[in-house]
Structure 1
């Protein structure tokens, strides 16, 4: 089973959490070898990774306006603990000023238009909402 878009239940659970204060979203992405665009889409053939970069470029105006900041990104090298078949091509953490910014983003028409590239790009993904905590040391 693949996971590309949130379900209605997942969005409802997201909306039920507090909306004030910053949130972080952990993104784990597995790209298709070849992007799969709808037949009527004008985008030329490309890799899934290239299609995802098209998504980032197209969504960039909206995410910048809403204060999204990618605070960490990496290329995963090995799953040391966890299912061996859950290999990922990209991982990153995006910080939002608050949960409302994320909800505003996904409702924005320009952002929604950009998601055609994300959908074409991804074979599978995970998106986890994180609540920042301060780690204490003794």
Structure 2
């Protein structure tokens, strides 16, 4: 009974910690996990402009995920075929940035877990029109 009580206390402590930090696990076959922000972007960027950076710590179940990186005009559906990535279960640091350059943006997203090399997904993009754009990344378990 003491072991059961100890185990139950440990499970409750982990759950409470996850709630306190505002993170939720993304499980296989669940809704996609997203990392996203909306910003006004110009169609004529230059290297003197400030980059956009977003971050999330997330627990991912071990699975094959379709990983998408996108920037699309607000009000439009983001379509990106993405790429598949095999991930082990664990906590990941998920970061995305959009860095203005002269006439285009460099978009980069990464996933990293302790001790393993960082997985990155990079793109060069430009826009025909200035406006509000959704910048982000999505992971969907296959």
Shared fold by TM > 0.5? no
Higher relative contact order (CA 8 A, sep 6+): 1
Normalised TM-score (structure 2)? 0.26
Report the TM-score when normalising by structure 1.
0.27
More strand by share: 2
Larger radius of gyration: 2
